[in-house]
């Protein structure tokens, strides 16, 4: 088998899509906003106590910091619930206008009963009122910033869900495939070659419509890759693409993530210069045994074409990397090299008995 040297340029190595962590944080933040707020409040208390001990200041009365921590969080909790309520903005403003001053007065009064009333030091009442009012305003300001961040994240996630639902608005696979079969039966006698091509395209569409929650196998993915390349070469007869696909039959029975290899290959036609006679594109899919495991080796190389005006689908190689990382975890390894002139990807997936 001929060894193909793939040029190396700017190197990028990893096993996860870099934005996946941000997405996970956003999701956890939206599901547990009160817990996040509680963690922030507890962190503030810990840092405050740490600074106090660091400066050598002794705390003789633990009731005051405990009260500030617990009651202020209760106020913040009520304030957060109001700001994130389904009421209109004007209604929320009126509720806060009436409720916030009451909460401040109750906080100051309880603090007065806790600290000044037992000692009878009424001269410091004004000082206490000013300090505690500023304290509560500071807490409410932090909570307001937190709510703004929460609402922006919520809006972003809701918009992404809306886009996903919009992408799913399409003709049902059942309708499409049944009508393709009907058309195939009508042309079967008139043009046998076209009939076979039509069946191949129908099979490719059937695989693309397959429910991703149902098991898919490497054999199906390789067949889809071959069918896709067959039609693209018919469509672009001047394409210069060298393909090597050599997978043992016993490896084809392993489960595999639907359309992931095909997505990377499709990017060659979306972003690559696949008609350059001097520099061909390469697609290599092989497998070898490594001890008790099999390794699937997938490699592509292509020159970057001039900017193409392509519609953005919201999916692509980033999504494929996320899916493969989810399905194979630490058994997925890849190295991609990208520059302004060319792109290459080397990906190795290790299969074991757990994937059969």
Query: Which pLDDT tens digit goes with each residue over 194-231?
Result: 888 998 999 999 999 988 888 999 999 999 999 999 99
| Phi-psi map region of 349: left, alpha, beta (phi>0 left; psi -120 to 50 alpha) | beta
Check residue 109 and give its pLDDT: 80
State both tokens at 96: 């806060």
Confidence of residue 12 (pLDDT cuts 50, 70, 90): very low
Task: Report the b/e string of 45-81 with b at 16+ CB within 10 A.
Answer: beeeeeeeeeeeeeeeeeeeeebbbebbbebbeebbe
pTM of the model: 0.61
> Can you give the pLDDT at residue 323?
92
Is the model's pLDDT at 1 over the cut of 60? Answer: no
Domains in the chain, please, with CATH? Answer: 11-18+238-355 (3.30.565), 32-167 (no CATH)
Residue 238 predicted with pLDDT over 70: yes
Q: Residue 315: pLDDT band by 50, 70, 90 thresholds?
A: low
Tell me the per-residue pLDDT of 241-274, one tens digit each, with 9 for 90 and over.
999 999 999 899 999 999 999 999 999 999 899 9
In percent, how much of the chain has pLDDT > 70? 85
Residue 217: strand pairing partners: 255
Give the pLDDT of residue 43. Answer: 85
Kindly state the average pLDDT of the residues 144-169.
Answer: 80
Most confident segment among 129-138, 171-180, 191-200, 296-305: 296-305
Contacts (Cβ under 8 Å, ≥6 apart) of 188: 195
Residue 89 is predicted with a pLDDT of: 67
User: What is the distance between the alpha carbons of residues 247 and 149, in angstroms, rounded to a whole number?
Assistant: 50
pLDDT of residue 59: 75
Percent of residues, the chain, with pLDDT higher than 90: 31
Q: What is the reported pLDDT for 291? A: 82
């Amino acid at each position: 088998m001929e060894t193909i040297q793939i040029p190396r340029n700017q190197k990028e190595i990893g096993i996860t899509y870099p934005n996946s962590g941000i997405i996970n944080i956003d999701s956890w933040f939206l599901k547990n906003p009160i817990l996040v707020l509680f963690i922030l409040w507890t962190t503030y208390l810990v840092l405050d106590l740490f600074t106090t001990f660091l400066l050598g200041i002794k705390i003789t009365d633990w009731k005051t910091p405990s009260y500030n921590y617990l009651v202020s969080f209760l106020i913040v909790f009520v304030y957060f619930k109001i700001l994130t309520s389904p009421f209109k903005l004007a209604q929320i403003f009126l509720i806060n206008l009436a409720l916030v001053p009451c909460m401040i007065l109750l906080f100051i009064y309880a603090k007065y009963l806790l600290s000044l009333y037992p000692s009878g030091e009424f001269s410091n009442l004004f000082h206490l009122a000013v300090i505690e009012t500023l304290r509560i305003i500071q807490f409410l300001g932090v909570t307001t910033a937190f709510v703004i961040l929460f609402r922006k994240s919520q809006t972003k996630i809701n918009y992404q869900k809306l886009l996903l639902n919009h992408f799913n608005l399409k003709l049902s696979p059942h309708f499409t495939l049944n009508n393709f079969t009907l058309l195939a039966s009508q042309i079967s006698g008139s043009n046998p070659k076209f009939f076979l091509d039509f069946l191949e395209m129908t099979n490719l569409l059937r695989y693309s419509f397959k429910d991703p929650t149902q098991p898919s196998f490497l054999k199906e993915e390789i067949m889809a890759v071959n069918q896709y390349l067959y039609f693209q070469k018919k469509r672009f007869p001047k394409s210069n693409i060298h393909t090597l696909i050599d997978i043992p039959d016993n490896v084809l029975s392993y489960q595999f993530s639907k359309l992931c290899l095909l997505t990377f290959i499709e990017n060659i036609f979306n972003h690559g210069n696949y008609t350059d006679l001097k520099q061909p594109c390469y697609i290599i899919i092989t497998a070898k045994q490594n001890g008790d495991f099999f390794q699937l080796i997938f490699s592509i190389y292509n020159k970057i074409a001039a900017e193409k005006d392509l519609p953005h689908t919201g999916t692509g190689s980033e999504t494929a990397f996320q899916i493969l990382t989810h399905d194979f975890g630490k058994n997925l390894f890849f190295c991609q090299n990208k520059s302004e002139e060319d792109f290459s990807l080397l990906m190795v997936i290790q299969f074991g008995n757990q994937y059969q």
